[in-house]
Structure 1
Amino acid sequence: MDNSNDLRVVPDTSVVIDGRISEKIRSGEYAGAKIFVPEAVVAEIEAQANRGLEIGYKGLEELQAIQDLAREGEVDVSFVGIRPGPDEVKLAKGGEIDALIRSVGEELDAKFVTGDRIQAEVARARGMNVEYLKPSLFEVTPLKIEDFFTDDTMSVHLKNGVVPMAKRGSIGNVEFVPVRETPCTYGELHYISRELSERARSDNESFIELSASGASVLQIRDMRIAISSPPFSDDIEITAVRPVASVRLEEYRLSEQLKERVLMQRGVLIAGPPGAGKSTFAAGLANYLHENGYVVKTMESPRDLQVPTEITQYAPLEGDMANTADVLLLVRPDYTIYDEVRKTHDFEIFGDMRLAGVGMVGVVHANRAVDAIQRLIGRVELGIIPQVVDTVVFIDKGEVAKVQVLEFTVKVPSGMTEADLARPVIVISDFESGVVEYEIYTFGEQVVVMPVSEVSGKPTWKLAENEIRSVMERYVDGRVEVEIISDSKAVVKVAEFEIPQVIGKGGSTIDKIEKQLGIGIDVRELSGKPDKKGERSRSSSSELRPVVEQTKRHLILDVPELATRDVEILIGQDYLFTATVSRHGEVKIRKNSHVAADILDAIEAGEAIVVKSV
């Protein structure tokens, strides 16, 4: 042990954050030494603290501890070197700040102390006196947060000023209960937060998954910890989640047919609400695949699936799962467990890997099995959904509640009878019974996920009515009424004067509409039509004179008093048409229509335009 007053030490940022310098001073190894702290180290720690990172606060605490030891006469401390400028900060990842720190050690001919292996190797290459402090091995001691856990505790929720709460029980029967009567204090949570961060850095089986301003996600062995603080959250909060069960696939009582199905390198979605046991089932499935000789990898953020060491768990490479997928496509696993698939980017990566021939299992939040499939719509091309996902396993309260399978075919959708209405259809069936439960196909411009009745085989037509009405409103200005009268025909009612433009020359327009919608259309006159004299029966409500405005494409009748109401438009006493006033109080008429021309001619002739509530 060198206790000479000539011992000069220059620490880098890594050993300051780890608290190793004060530890060596207290042990006597650096007693009487001169500690030269580079300003670049202070700047780096200050920047981390300003970003709300725990390592920044830890570094500041260590600097204060060294100063306390200096005041006690244990060491001599001084701050030396230059503070990094904007250029060095921009090039920090390239090693510019590390170079500034090393330069202090070189100039002072001091012992350069670092916990960064690359920094140590570079310093040795430059001929410096280097002391490399490897991460210390320590005996794993209980953490304070573990005092809140019991054997049946799934998660612990701590917040400043709030009574500690925990979710306890089995997966099928979870209760949210208080742990104690006294609320958490800021000092208590601050201590727990620092202890957790220190354990994540020092334990080889733990790691920091995410560190941002006001938020950290840690994986400490089998516990996933989320720490939030201002400005990200309104107050400091710690949530710790721990698996309460490690279940083998055999315990789920799955049929042999389903087990054989997943061994065929399928595309599988494991769906269910939060806390239903999706990840537990995914881990059991991963173990089952591994035991059957498959090469299995996982893609997780955070990496908290409980799988054997033979199954490698991958995090987002450089913050992006797409980079992880690129690596995995070179590794070529038989199956990849993707936990969890949530955003559009995740579904795209999942689909890309599945189409590359990799068996995929994705974990998805959903309240029903079919909801998981609907999340693919718009994110994966409709025609290839069954190639990406062909099996959905729905988990509820720790049990397999439903299994659905997807098949792609060309057929007439259930409820339609005309042969020329055949189209590509994705059929969703119950795996055990084989009963068709849903069909997915295009209807007009919409993608329809239509439930199929077990009794009649006919879908609900409410969505179809809305779609027909939406299409017809492009061809008429007035009100449109739609009624589905059979599986292959609908009745559409419009004002009498608008029927010709719906039919079109030689029926060309209605043929186009029927082809677009895939259903026959019977066009009829809207009730309350004009009589032979051209007058319409009217209510005794008061008359309003609209403000008439013109735009490039529309003639607008402004009657805010009748917003959202059905009205009749008249020229003098002669009925013109019926319409629905918008919520902004406007009736819009296409400028190139006959109705608009009649209104403009009437205005020019000095006739009154009247709007009456129906």
Structure 2
Amino acid sequence: MNDSVYVLSSDVLMRSLIRYEPGHSLIRGSKLIIPEEILSKLEEEASKGDRFSVGALGEIIWLQELQGEGYIEEVRIEGHRGRGVDALYEIAKRYSAKVLCGDRITTLSLRARGVDVLYIGPKMDGLRIYDYFDEETMSVHLKEGAPPMAKKGRPGNFNLVKLSERRLEEFEVRTMAYEIIERAKTGPDAFIEAMYDDAYLIQLGNLRVLIAFPPFSDGIEITAVRPLVKVTLDDYDLSDKLKRRLSERAEGILIAGPPGAGKTTFASALAEFYREKGKIVKTLESPRDLQVGPEITQYGKLAGTFENTADLLLLVRPDYVIFDEMRKTQDFKIFVDMRLAGVGMVGVVHCGFPIEAIQRFIERVDLGVLPHVVDTVIFIRDGRIEKVYSLKITVKMPTGMKDVTLARPVVLVKDFETETVEYEIYTFGEEVIVMPVASREGVEEEASARFRLKRRKHTIVIDLGPAMADTEVTIYAGNREVATMITDSRGRLTLARSSPLGRRVMEAIRNDSLRVVPSERSEEDYEFSGE
């Protein structure tokens, strides 16, 4: 017969730790005491719909059933004066009992008070989340009632893979979730970045982990994201002109692109680039995703806001600050304030097209200040630099206007490599206008040659027919000239889908704006025909 007396902490009940080993064997033949405060708290939370509190009440009923079966000697609800850890301490001392606990911080606190504690929570080593990762895994997605999934590959070239046909049970996902949470509380390589009632954002080594519980989510979910590669700027196909720009002039840089495009990877490379040039570099991140060396300090939110962090950063006097993932209006205001204070700023923003990165600053900053805050926009897709814009302000008539009295300050958005103006931004009445500018102003649209489109797995074929063999033609997206090429002996142009030109042509096809015009036209009228 086991004469042990155990006091149960709330986490033991809410995590069902005594249903499984080693907890289940420990309680055999013992007396169990539950502090009255825990029962009251569980009743209160259960009435609000918290399913874990409902489950904990079910655990107490189950223990009472075990008492009836003779598996345990007694289950008792005990009154006390103290609250929280004090209640556990008071009851443990009163009955010379041990405390069964599944929370490491509570365990350490009770041991510091001289209480005998048995920790039966998750182990610190061998976290099961790591079992789902291999060298190619970008992220792992686990949810109760669903099979485990993972993204494998590289940014821009990945597949969503089912890791098992078996659906995960609620207990499995809950156990893994609490393993990660407990590791983050006391582990040397992990910390809790943000914590809410039903969600945790945790940095676990180089993993960014989001854990969601009901009712925030419809089931327990774990999403773990890992950076696959650490690169330098030399790994990108940067022109000498862009390298000089980054080295000498660019101090208000936006790194833009859709989610998963490789923006943070490029930002990490840029941070290391500035560090190697002898600059003091700091980062603003939440979560801290940038893969940088120890010489670069990564700052999170101070007292819950980046505004407080920025106030202290100005005292540190950095040369460059990398602001990862700007989303809220306050984030953009911090970027503007620090840039106008003379700090070199690199901001990371989500957007689908390059111009949208600039549009996110409109209405958040005066138009005349915009080019002084943002001078370079680098748009990344599929891990590659797809477009670079530079900004300049001038006074002129906006394109298309004829009256000289309409001249006004205009922000010119130029293709950095070609110096071609692609957009003009100006005020008209009370509105801010972002106007696309055709690359060939005043030139009438030329008729397109007839062609057929053939979409293959890795290429696009523009077939103009044998009559157009070995002919120089110009490809347009609407009125914008994209490229000039010479057809092959069968009158075809073959483009790689993954190339910059291939992606531009695909975009023009989607917009129904693709035209192919012979450089030397005959008297024959050509007409568009896409199949």
Instruction: Indicate which of 275, 295, 308 corresponds to 1:323.
Output: 308
**Structure 1 partner of 2:147:** 163
Once residues 106 and 160 of structure 1 are traced to their aligned partners in structure 2, the CA distance between those partners, rounded to angstroms, is 40
* 1:529-568 correspondence to structure 2 within 5 Å: none
Residue among 450, 456, 465 paired with 2:441:
456
3-state SS of 2:314 partner: helix
Q: How does 1:375-414 map to 2 (within 5 A)?
A: 375-414=360-399
- Which residue identity does 1:290 align to in structure 2? R
Please say if residues 127 and 176 of structure 2, whose CA atoms lie closer than 8 Å, have aligned partners that are also in contact.
no
Partner in structure 2 of residue 446 of structure 1: 431
3-state SS of paired residue (1:290): helix
- Cα separation, 2, equivalents of 1:283 and 1:149: 23
Give the distance between the partners of 1:40 and 1:222, measured in 2 at CA.
Answer: 39
Aligned to 2:169: 185
1:249–1:421 Cα change, 3 Å:
same
Give the alignment of 1:206-355 within 5 angstroms: 206-263=190-247, 264=249, 266-355=251-340
Query: How many Å apart are 1:280 and its aligned residue?
Result: 0.8
43 and 451 in structure 1: CA distance in 2 versus 1, 3 angstrom threshold: same
- CA-CA distance at 1:56 after TM superposition: 8.3
- Whether contact under 8 Å (1:52, 1:213) holds in the other structure is no
Return closer, same or farther for 1:196/1:66 CA change in 2, 3 Å cut-off.
farther
* C-alpha contact 2:193 2:286 (8 A) present in aligned 1: yes
User: Within 5 A, what are the aligned runs for 1:40-59?
Assistant: none
Q: CA deviation at 1:372?
A: 0.5
Q: Distance in 2 between matches of 1:294 and 1:174?
A: 35
Inter-CA distance 237–64: structure 2 relative to 1 (3 Å threshold)? same
Closer, same or farther in 2 for the Cα pair 1:181/1:421, shift >3 Å?
A: same
Partner of 2:521: none
Q: Report the Cα offset of residue 155 of structure 1.
A: 1.7
The alignment partner of 1:352 has SS state of helix
Contact conserved, 1:439 with 1:452, CA < 8 A, in 2? yes
Residue 174 of structure 1 aligns with an amino acid whose one-letter code is F
Q: Based on CA coordinates, which of the two structures has the bigger radius of gyration?
A: 1
Distance, in Å, in 1 between the alignment partners of 2:192 and 2:51 is 11
Partner secondary structure for residue 369 of structure 2? helix
In structure 2, C-alpha distance between the alignment counterparts of 1:142 and 1:314, rounded to whole Å: 27
Q: In structure 1, the residue corresponding to 2:140 is in which secondary structure?
A: strand
Amino acid at match of 2:219: D
**Does residue 147 in structure 1 map to residue 131 in structure 2?**
yes
Report the CA distance shift for 1:155/1:14 in structure 2 as closer, same or farther (over 3 A): closer
Helix, strand or coil: the match of 2:368?
Answer: helix
Unpaired stretches in structure 1, ≥5 consecutive residues: 27-31, 85-95, 461-614
Distance 1:449 1:200, change over 3 A: same
How far apart in 1 are the matches of 2:324 and 2:413? 24
Equivalent residue letter for 2:300:
A
Checking the alignment, whether the CA contact within 8 Å between 1:415 and 1:457 is kept in structure 2 is: no
How far, CA to CA, are the matches of 2:419 and 2:352 in structure 1?
A: 22
Distance 2:394 2:255 in 1: 24
Q: Summarize the Cα distance change of 1:76–1:285 in structure 2 as closer, same or farther, 3 Å threshold.
A: farther
Code of the residue aligned with 1:154 in structure 2: it is M
Shift of residue 187, structure 1, vs aligned partner? 3.2
Query: Hey, what's the Cα distance between the residues in 2 that align with 1:451 and 1:459?
Result: 17
Instruction: Name the CA distance, whole Å, in 2 between partners of 1:454 and 1:82.
Output: 80
Task: Please list the CA deviations of residues 411-439 of structure 1 after superposition, one character each: whole Å capped at 9, or x if unmatched.
Answer: 22223343322111111111122111111
Number of aligned positions between the proteins:
440
CA 8–239 in structure 1, closer or farther in 2 if over 3 Å, else same: closer
Matched, 1:204 2:188: yes
Per the TM alignment, residue 103 of structure 1 is displaced from its structure 2 partner at its CA by 7.4
| Deviation, structure 1 residue 455 | 0.5
Q: 1:15–1:115: 8 Å Cα contact kept in structure 2?
A: no
Superposition pairs of residues 10-29 of structure 1, within 5 angstroms = none
Per-residue deviation, 1:326: 2.2
Which has the higher mean CA deviation after the structures are superposed, 440-449 or 292-301? 292-301
TM-score by length of 2: 0.66
CA distance in 1, matches of 2:255, 2:314: 22
Q: Is the 8 A contact 2:104 2:186 kept in 1?
A: no
Greater shift after overlay, 317-326 or 277-286?
317-326
1:221-274 deviations in whole A, cap 9, x for unaligned? 111222223222223332221111111122113234433433457111110011
Q: 1:267 to 1:216 in 2, by over 3 A?
A: same
Q: Percent identity?
A: 46
CA distance in 2, matches of 1:443, 1:149: 54
**Residues in 2 aligned to 1:74 and 1:202: alpha-carbon distance in whole angstroms:** 33
User: Greater shift after overlay, 420-429 or 316-325?
Assistant: 316-325
Q: Secondary structure at the match of 1:346?
A: helix
Q: 1:399 to 1:48 in 2, by over 3 A?
A: farther
Cα deviation per residue 1:183-231 (whole Å; 9 max; x = unaligned)? 3333332332232223323422112223334333222111122222322
**C-alpha deviation, 1:99, in angstroms:** 6.9
Work out whether 1:430 is the aligned partner of 2:415: yes
C-alpha distance in structure 1 between counterparts of 2:127 and 2:348, whole Å: 32
Do the aligned partners of residues 61 and 381 (structure 1) sit closer, same or farther apart at CA in structure 2, a change above 3 Å counting?
A: farther
CA contact (8 A) 2:122 2:175 kept: no
CA contact (8 A) 1:216 1:226 kept: yes
Relative distance call for 1:159 and 1:105 in structure 2 (3 A) is: closer
Whether the 8 Å CA contact 1:269–1:372 is kept in 2: the answer is yes
Q: Which amino acid aligns with 1:266?
A: E
RMSD: 4.8
The equivalent residue for 2:464 is none
Change (3 A) 1:429 1:72: farther
Q: CA deviation at 1:137?
A: 13
Maintained 8 Å contact 2:136/2:152: yes
- How big is each residue's C-alpha offset from its partner over 1:544-582, in whole Å with a ceiling of 9 and x where there is no partner? xxxxxxxxxxxxxxxxxxxxxxxxxxxxxxxxxxxxxxx
SS in 2 for 1:382: coil
1:366 maps to 351
Deviation at 1:48, TM superposition (A): 8.2
> In structure 1, what residue type is equivalent to 2:220?
I
TM-score normalised to the size of structure 1?
0.58
1:175 pairs with 2:159: yes
Instruction: Rate the CA distance shift 1:83–1:341 in 2: closer, same or farther, 3 A.
Output: farther
Does the C-alpha gap of structure 1 residues 325 and 398 become closer, same or farther in structure 2, counting only changes over 3 Å? same
Per the alignment, in what secondary structure is the counterpart of residue 153 of structure 2?
Answer: strand
Q: C-alpha distance in 2, partners of 1:66/1:407?
A: 73
Q: Which moved more, 1:429-438 or 1:167-176?
A: 167-176
Query: How far apart, CA to CA, are the structure 1 residues paired with 2:35 and 2:70?
Result: 22
